[in-house]
A and B are shown apart, each in its own frame.
Chain A
């Protein structure tokens, strides 16, 4: 075994790499597999279950055996296929699933015990005790059957996502794909040609066939050069199209930096592309399949086409004495190509009755036993055996939308069903056109037809190429001996396992797969599925199509989680929204809380405060004592204009708005169609036909969407225009007895109680800057909300703080906001839970019956108005030192803590610094009639059981005297 002449490797450059700690040399153009073979390394891994020594069987992405851990440290990646790893200088790879070493693997004892490990062994054996499965059995089994290990470190590399658009996506750059691309590219269509290999040409790179009088690989290179010069053609190597999605959208992973030791600065390792296509062509070629025989899994036994590829493309002879076992004429090409390279090749032609019945060699093939058609057996000393049982079209993507493949007896394989995916055509070997001529012709002709459909004129110009038939005579497995013949090498599924599945009644392909694991794991049965089906068909006496077909989900080959996540991880998982006071609040050391994308100040600690409660209590007490400032920009603001704006509001709000005077604000309650409360907020009438609606922070987008739906779909006859202005205005609440005095220092207009009474609104100026003022309160204090254009938001918070200095005003966060609203009995997110009606919230009278509005009718449903339904109540602990817990349920004293006795629950709990104890809001059955009642609030999770008294939800200033000043 060694390098031989020829191949597409750059022998002038040497690349150093290591496998299992041993250093080797390779060349640019090599894969890890070709370089290892060139260094006489055939043993590359251990099998999944029996830990059998394994080497490569393929030269592509279908590889089931040569699975390695690539790279080290944080970049270590398990389960990479040595056959597609592009060699780079410094590459380091380790074999998997062996201990202590690849050559001596203690777990190979499993192979000796194989009679116990047949299909279904685990299901039958680890039945009891059931509790042992998750904690004991499964971890042990998983470790023994490991498919590589994770570094458990963060991936240091970045992954991009992107979007591409084209007239025609061509998947695969073999002869059919290149021919289609050339036809479409020359016609001026916008073409994307994607291939998973780092070198375009597909099988042409592995063959000695000629196209148009030149070597196939040279024709491919020349064609790629011409395509590269066309501005309308995008060539994407190292790009695997992973699946067909809806509406002509295809997913593709481009491995931008996988062929480098690490990505260049700022560059991603991979890009997950979404490709939007008018049409697509699947030219993904075909995958060769083996013929199963006893001990057909030794390193050195591989697919005949792979053996040929290693010789032709990479200049590697896997052995000097070689045999080829084939049932078709393509196998003969391997014989002639290897002979031309000077190797000693023996042909075993299944069509003449010759068969390989066994092999020998512990860590690699040493000999095979051949039974000739005349019944004689002989042993051949060979170190490599190429096997060809035919070729399966790579129809995977064509079945992504459940299109059932169709059996074709002429090549004994499944073909993609026509029209299996709208807009996708299959050409070349992927469509069962197995000669080079057929590939070139179908590629070009399909491209012409597709372009005609798109209104682009094109013509096919197909060069001369071989058009030999495959001459295949089906042969699936060799009926000989009692040993194991492997069907699916990745999952260690043998002919015997398929027989056992049949014997135990798992005949359907879906059951066969799940019982034996045939076709699972990283290779998804690319080499084994059809073989497994064929064995089952023979056992059941049915044809293969009668037995079943397998279809494929995306992805075509494994995709790194990082590529699916893209840039959205860690700090960049999602965007954030900064309130206008963010910069100032950050300077103050504010603690932020995420509300949707917003970062809101939760509390603003001052020096000496060691617990959040100290900060929040201070903010609450000082606001109620003097003045407090809070950034309320995050509340949704929707500008509503038009001559029917008032009528529109009357329809979307449960209470009346048409009567609202210009310059006034009103609290509004919005119901869903089903009568439940959707959102609440205030709406200000800024002009005759101009309103500003305020929503809760969380519902800003849903409410806007709802209003647009109402406007566009329900009542298109109304003259209403909407636009969000949430971000346009920096809005601050200024609350407390000194709020007006504070604002008077900044506002240019008269805002005395006479000029600007409770619930007034208007356009004002702040030292010359345009502003809006609303006299509304969520805290129960005399309060205003003042808004300036957002660019002045930072200056405004600083101006407010400065103006408030003489009043010792505080800036408060969302925690203090929450305390004050609970003290006032205002509902918020915890009460607006989507399952509560206005009646539940004690706001039933707000739902006007004098007009129609969304949700009005259904809010009057029988179940919604039941007198024993939930009602909002205030709750305090009987013993003031007891703390309440949100989520605790109400139980009668002495009642058992079971669901049947549940009376309701505590929705919101805060510590009221004014009252000096916990207070809460809750929903209690018939709560409006139970004031003064003593109950228990029980939280089984927090293990609390507190005696509480039901009281009015208005804990503080119930008459609202402070509001009006």
Chain B
């Protein structure tokens, strides 16, 4: 059946926003589906094997890793956030569950979060106004959970010039305000 319910972006618009503030570009990314993956007790090896077969990277602490379809962020011991293109993986947990069977617990997380992709030549100068994460030392692939303006967020360094901030969806507007304010202030 055609989907009659119309979706809104976390910022409450029909289409995601793109903003250029001086040297910083902020994109509200709604193109990624998310699910948490946690190994069940004693079945860690099975999870690792199944992930490898399916092309799902499982990075270590403080890291994120991208592969062809999937990418992943380490959340905690034997726990990851799996990312996949929303267009093909809207029902991401239904896709992941057969891969891991009863060896892992999988929970859909797509709509729990807002993701902002920030692009700037000098990202550390921006992030020193946002959070206590030493982006100057965090190379490509680094990922962490931190606090930005009281909001618990994941920060993922996608490249030298691009960082994703994944924050609580219900506070998307507050997080967006923090990001635009810092972008205006820092450069």
Residues of A within 8 A of B (CB): 158, 160-165, 190, 265-268, 271, 274, 276, 567-568, 572, 574-579, 582-583, 597-598, 633, 639, 641-644, 689-690, 717-719, 721, 723-730, 748, 765-770, 788-796, 799
With contacts A719-B40, A768-B2, A788-B5 known, is A727 near B112, CB below 8 A? yes
CB distance from A693 to the nearest CB of B (A): 13
Interface check B32, CB cutoff 8 A:
no
Do the beta carbons of A578 and B4 come within 8 Å of each other?
Answer: no
Listed stretches B57-65, B102-110, B154-162; interface member: B102-110
Do the beta carbons of A769 and B3 come within 8 Å of each other?
Answer: yes
With contacts A579-B170, A792-B5, A794-B12 known, is A643 near B40, CB below 8 A? yes
| Binary CB contact string for chain B from 50 to 93 against chain A (1 if under 8 A, 0 otherwise) | 00000000000000000000000000000100000000000100
Do the beta carbons of B112 and A642 come within 8 Å of each other?
Answer: no
* Distance between Cα atoms of A768 and B3 in the complex (Å): 6
Which residues of the other chain, A, contact B18 by a CB distance below 8 angstroms?
A: none
12 contacts between A and B (CB under 8 A): A163-B131, A163-B134, A164-B128, A276-B132, A276-B134, A575-B171, A728-B111, A766-B5, A767-B1, A768-B3, A792-B7, A795-B6
* Distance between Cα atoms of A579 and B170 in the complex (Å): 6
Do the beta carbons of B8 and A794 come within 8 Å of each other?
Answer: yes
Do the beta carbons of A639 and B134 come within 8 Å of each other?
Answer: no
* Distance between Cα atoms of A128 and B131 in the complex (Å): 53
Closest B residue by C-beta to A164: B128
Contact of B128 among A163, A633, A643 (CB under 8 A): A163
Do the beta carbons of B169 and A790 come within 8 Å of each other?
Answer: yes
Contact of A274 among B132, B168, B174 (CB under 8 A): B132
With contacts A164-B128, A274-B132, A767-B3 known, is A718 near B112, CB below 8 A? no
Which residues of the other chain, B, contact A274 by a CB distance below 8 angstroms?
A: 132
* Distance between Cα atoms of A770 and B40 in the complex (Å): 26
Which residues of the other chain, A, contact B133 by a CB distance below 8 angstroms?
A: 163
With contacts A577-B168, A597-B171 known, is A158 near B6, CB below 8 A? no
* Distance between Cα atoms of A748 and B168 in the complex (Å): 30
Closest B residue by C-beta to A794: B8
Which residues of the other chain, A, contact B8 by a CB distance below 8 angstroms?
A: 583, 791, 793-795
With contacts A276-B134, A583-B12, A727-B169 known, is A789 near B110, CB below 8 A? yes
CB distance from A381 to the nearest CB of B (A): 55
Closest B residue by C-beta to A268: B185
* Distance between Cα atoms of A724 and B36 in the complex (Å): 10
Interface check B139, CB cutoff 8 A:
no
* Distance between Cα atoms of A768 and B6 in the complex (Å): 12
With contacts A162-B129, A728-B111 known, is A769 near B5, CB below 8 A? yes
* Distance between Cα atoms of A723 and B113 in the complex (Å): 13
* Distance between Cα atoms of A1 and B157 in the complex (Å): 60
Closest B residue by C-beta to A637: B112
Interface check B9, CB cutoff 8 A:
yes
Do the beta carbons of A575 and B174 come within 8 Å of each other?
Answer: yes
Q: 17 other contacts beyond A641-B106, A723-B38, A794-B8, with CB at 8 A cut-off?
A: A160-B182, A568-B149, A577-B168, A597-B171, A598-B170, A642-B40, A719-B40, A719-B41, A721-B38, A724-B112, A725-B112, A727-B111, A728-B111, A729-B111, A768-B4, A769-B4, A796-B5
Do the beta carbons of B110 and A728 come within 8 Å of each other?
Answer: yes
Which residues of the other chain, A, contact B102 by a CB distance below 8 angstroms?
A: 643, 689
| Binary CB contact string for chain B from 104 to 143 against chain A (1 if under 8 A, 0 otherwise) | 0111111111000000000000001101111011000000
CB distance from A754 to the nearest CB of B (A): 24
Which residues of the other chain, A, contact B5 by a CB distance below 8 angstroms?
A: 766-767, 769, 788, 792, 795-796, 799
CB distance from A470 to the nearest CB of B (A): 41
Do the beta carbons of A791 and B111 come within 8 Å of each other?
Answer: yes
CB distance from A109 to the nearest CB of B (A): 49
Do the beta carbons of B1 and A768 come within 8 Å of each other?
Answer: yes
Closest A residue by C-beta to B187: A266
With contacts A575-B151, A766-B5, A795-B6 known, is A726 near B112, CB below 8 A? yes
Interface check B173, CB cutoff 8 A:
yes
* Distance between Cα atoms of A137 and B91 in the complex (Å): 72
Which residues of the other chain, A, contact B106 by a CB distance below 8 angstroms?
A: 641
Do the beta carbons of B175 and A721 come within 8 Å of each other?
Answer: no
Do the beta carbons of B136 and A165 come within 8 Å of each other?
Answer: yes
Closest A residue by C-beta to B78: A721
Interface check B184, CB cutoff 8 A:
yes
CB distance from A455 to the nearest CB of B (A): 15
Do the beta carbons of B170 and A727 come within 8 Å of each other?
Answer: yes
Chain B residues numbered 1-50 whose CB sits less than 8 Å from any CB in chain A: 1-10, 12, 30, 36, 38, 40-42
Do the beta carbons of A641 and B107 come within 8 Å of each other?
Answer: yes
Do the beta carbons of B6 and A790 come within 8 Å of each other?
Answer: no
Which residues of the other chain, A, contact B110 by a CB distance below 8 angstroms?
A: 728, 789
CB distance from B153 to the nearest CB of A (A): 11
* Distance between Cα atoms of A271 and B178 in the complex (Å): 15
> Which of A268, A633, A641, A721 has the largest number of chain B CB atoms within 10 A?
A721
* Distance between Cα atoms of A931 and B2 in the complex (Å): 57
Do the beta carbons of A723 and B109 come within 8 Å of each other?
Answer: yes
Do the beta carbons of B171 and A723 come within 8 Å of each other?
Answer: no
Which residues of the other chain, B, contact A639 by a CB distance below 8 angstroms?
A: 105, 107
* Distance between Cα atoms of A579 and B174 in the complex (Å): 13
* Distance between Cα atoms of A267 and B133 in the complex (Å): 22
| Binary CB contact string for chain B from 163 to 187 against chain A (1 if under 8 A, 0 otherwise) | 0000011111111011001101100
* Distance between Cα atoms of A769 and B107 in the complex (Å): 17
Which residues of the other chain, A, contact B91 by a CB distance below 8 angstroms?
A: 770
With contacts A164-B128, A639-B107, A768-B1 known, is A795 near B112, CB below 8 A? no
> Which of A165, A766, A794 has the largest number of chain B CB atoms within 10 A?
A165
> Which of B91, B105, B106, B132 has the largest number of chain A CB atoms within 10 A?
B105
Which residues of the other chain, B, contact A689 by a CB distance below 8 angstroms?
A: 102, 105
Closest B residue by C-beta to A578: B170
Closest B residue by C-beta to A793: B8
Do the beta carbons of B173 and A578 come within 8 Å of each other?
Answer: yes
CB distance from A269 to the nearest CB of B (A): 11
Do the beta carbons of B108 and A160 come within 8 Å of each other?
Answer: no
Per CB-CB distance, the 6 closest pairs between chain A and chain B, nearest first, are: A575-B174, A641-B105, A266-B184, A768-B1, A719-B41, A790-B111
* Distance between Cα atoms of A577 and B174 in the complex (Å): 8
CB distance from B120 to the nearest CB of A (A): 15
* Distance between Cα atoms of A724 and B81 in the complex (Å): 13
Closest A residue by C-beta to B170: A577
CB distance from B132 to the nearest CB of A (A): 4
Which residues of the other chain, A, contact B173 by a CB distance below 8 angstroms?
A: 576, 578
Do the beta carbons of B105 and A721 come within 8 Å of each other?
Answer: yes
* Distance between Cα atoms of A271 and B102 in the complex (Å): 51
Which residues of the other chain, B, contact A729 by a CB distance below 8 angstroms?
A: 111
Which residues of the other chain, A, contact B174 by a CB distance below 8 angstroms?
A: 575-576
Closest A residue by C-beta to B128: A162
Closest A residue by C-beta to B6: A795
* Distance between Cα atoms of A720 and B3 in the complex (Å): 35
Do the beta carbons of A728 and B177 come within 8 Å of each other?
Answer: no
Do the beta carbons of A795 and B40 come within 8 Å of each other?
Answer: no
Closest A residue by C-beta to B181: A567
Do the beta carbons of A575 and B9 come within 8 Å of each other?
Answer: no
Which residues of the other chain, A, contact B38 by a CB distance below 8 angstroms?
A: 641, 721, 723
> Which of B107, B134, B137, B150 has the largest number of chain A CB atoms within 10 A?
B107
Closest B residue by C-beta to A791: B7
* Distance between Cα atoms of A794 and B42 in the complex (Å): 42
* Distance between Cα atoms of A582 and B10 in the complex (Å): 12
